[in-house]
Amino acid sequence: MDRFANQASPKFSLLCILTMLATFATGLSCFAQAKPPDAPPPDTLVLSNGDTLHGKLVLQTGGKVTFHSEPLGDLTIPWENIKELHTGQKFAVLDKNVKVRSKKEVPQIPVGTIDVADQAITVHTEAAPIQPIPVKNAQYIVDKPTLDEQVFHRPSLLNGWNGGATAGTTLVRATQNQYTVAGSLGMVRVVPALTWLDPRNRTSLNAAGSYGKLTEPGYVSGGVPVAATEVKTAIFHFDFERDEYFSPRVFALGQVAFDHNFAQNLQLQQIYGGGLGWTAVRTERQELDLKGTVQYEKQSFINAPPGSDLNLIGSTFSASYLFKAKLFTYTQNLAYIPAFNEPRAYSANETNTVTFPAYKNFAFSLGTIDSYLNDPPVSLPPTKRNSFQFTAGLTYSFKSKY
């Protein structure tokens, strides 16, 4: 038995060795195929004082370069403080004289690794060499994947939303009991998201509301009972708008809006309309939009007799202003809403909001909401035509994936 086992042993060993060699060779082949491509070398930035940073160029906008260094994080450095800049990855350099309105203009943007020296940018493209671009003419510099994403990517309707939610409350417990809760939500989605590309469309959604109640207990005065009293406040607003741009500053729009104001006996005001808008001002720090629509409007009032609802044909003439500063952001919206078939049934509103950054995504906000309704129904006590709110609360900002 041992003799037969010894005779078979060399063959068995040789077979095992060959099998192991084949397995090892297959593993090496798979490893070679799965090996990722070599990463580009780190970007290099040389300051005017001779200091050298190694890391990654993030972007350039407004004459300032954002450079990421592992030990220092993101640094923002103006061009005049930069002596040299060399990148290992490809970037798109947008000259301020080149306007990008569609995919057809994209080939005009030079893309490649860049070298900066003597206040001039040299882009090493795969095509024919181009003349160096003065840094003062470089409006934006972004990486190639960002350019492709913003120009060619079509995000789903659930992506690309930016905005914030605000909440605040007041509570009083004494002879009189009072509470008020207020909140708002503002969302906007612009495609593409980068400001140096002309917008194709914009979608906005806004909701705001406040609800409060003041109660006073009943009592007896001089033997005469006085009933308990309760005063309620309820103001709610919602609007949705879709803009489609057919030039960099002119767009068509469709909108819907709903308003409820218990203090003005307004059960519900509905607006459905469409029109045109014009971006009168657009810079990195501020934007002003002027809009005009033709619309159908319906007003329903609280405790009004049947058949008193108003069906109106009118317009909304509005202005929306945004200003961004380092320490705060200010927004203002003005709207005048005339009715052509019922001249007395016009209204107007104004909102102002100032937001102060606090910590990470949190901010503190102050705001006012002023609304005027010219045709409230007759009531006792008489209904005031003007309603004013002041709000203060904590705001959380969020940004969804584009």
Q: Which residue has the higher pLDDT, 220 or 19?
A: 220
Within a domain: 27: no
Mean pLDDT for all residues in the chain: 85
Residues 210, 293 within the same domain: yes
Is the confidence at residue 363, as pLDDT, over 90?
yes
Domain assignment of residue 66, yes or no? yes
> Other CB atoms closer than 10 Å to residue 205's CB: what's the count?
16
Question: Do 123 and 267 sit in the same domain of this protein?
Answer: no
Asked if residue 85 has pLDDT above 90, the reply is: yes
Band (264; pLDDT cuts 50, 70, 90): confident
Percent of the chain with pLDDT over 70: 87
Q: What's the CA gap between 355 and 361, in Å, rounded?
A: 12
Q: Could you say which of 113, 134, 152 is where a domain stops?
A: 152
Same domain for 184 and 118? no
> Which range has the worst mean pLDDT, 66-70, 138-142, 375-379?
375-379
Q: How many separate domains does the chain show?
A: 2
**Tokens encoding 368:** 């006012």
Same domain, 357 and 246: yes
The mean pLDDT of 113-131, rounded to a whole number, is 88
Minimum mean pLDDT range among 10-19, 149-158, 186-195:
10-19
Residues 92 and 172 in one domain: no
- 9 assigned to some structural domain: no
What number of CA atoms fall less than 13 Å from residue 94's CA on the CB side? 24
Which own/partner pairs from 383-391 qualify as long-range (CB within 8 Å, at least 24 positions apart)?
Answer: 383/263, 383/264, 383/265, 384/263, 384/264, 385/264, 387/235, 387/261, 387/263, 387/264, 389/182, 389/210, 389/235, 390/366, 391/166, 391/168, 391/182, 391/184, 391/210, 391/365, 391/366, 391/367
For residue 239, the cross-strand partners are 206, 257
Residue 304 pLDDT exceeds 90: no
Give the residue numbers spanning the domain of 88: 43-152
* pLDDT grade for 248, boundaries at 50, 70 and 90: confident
Helix H or strand E encompassing 11: helix 2-34
Out of 152, 184, 203, pick the residue that ends a domain.
152
Residue 6 resides in a domain? no
21 in any annotated domain: no
* Strand pairing report for 286-301 and 266-282: antiparallel
- Average the pLDDT over 5-27 and give the result: 52
Does any domain span residue 5?
A: no
Q: What is the pLDDT of residue 26?
A: 57
Q: Are residues 124 and 100 in the same domain?
A: yes
304 plus 278 within the same structural domain: yes
Same domain, yes or no: 285 and 245: yes
Last residue in a domain, options 118, 152, 186: 152
Answer whether residue 31 shows pLDDT above 70.
Answer: no
pLDDT exceeds cutoff 90 at 87: yes
Q: Is residue 16 part of a domain?
A: no
Which contiguous run of DSSP H or E holds residue 222? none
Which residue bears the tokens 């350039």? 60
Whether residues 234 and 131 share a domain: the answer is no
pLDDT tens-digit series, residues 269-288: 999 999 999 999 988 789 99
Instruction: Give the pLDDT score at 24.
Output: 53
**Residue 161 to residue 363: CA distance in whole angstroms:** 18
Q: Are residues 349 and 319 in the same domain?
A: yes
Q: Are residues 98 and 169 in the same domain?
A: no
* Per-residue pLDDT at 392 exceeds 70: yes
In a domain, 34, yes or no: no
If asked whether residues 62 and 84 sit together in one domain, one would say: yes
| CATH number (domain holding residue 330) | 2.40.160.40
pLDDT surpassing 50 at residue 34: no
Quick check: 292 pLDDT over 70?
yes
Q: Residue 151: is its pLDDT beyond 50?
A: yes
362-373 and 347-359 strand pairing = antiparallel
Q: Is the dihedral of CA 250, 252, 257, 263 positive or negative?
A: positive
The yes-or-no verdict on residue 82 having pLDDT over 90 is yes
Residue 315 has pLDDT above 60, yes or no: yes
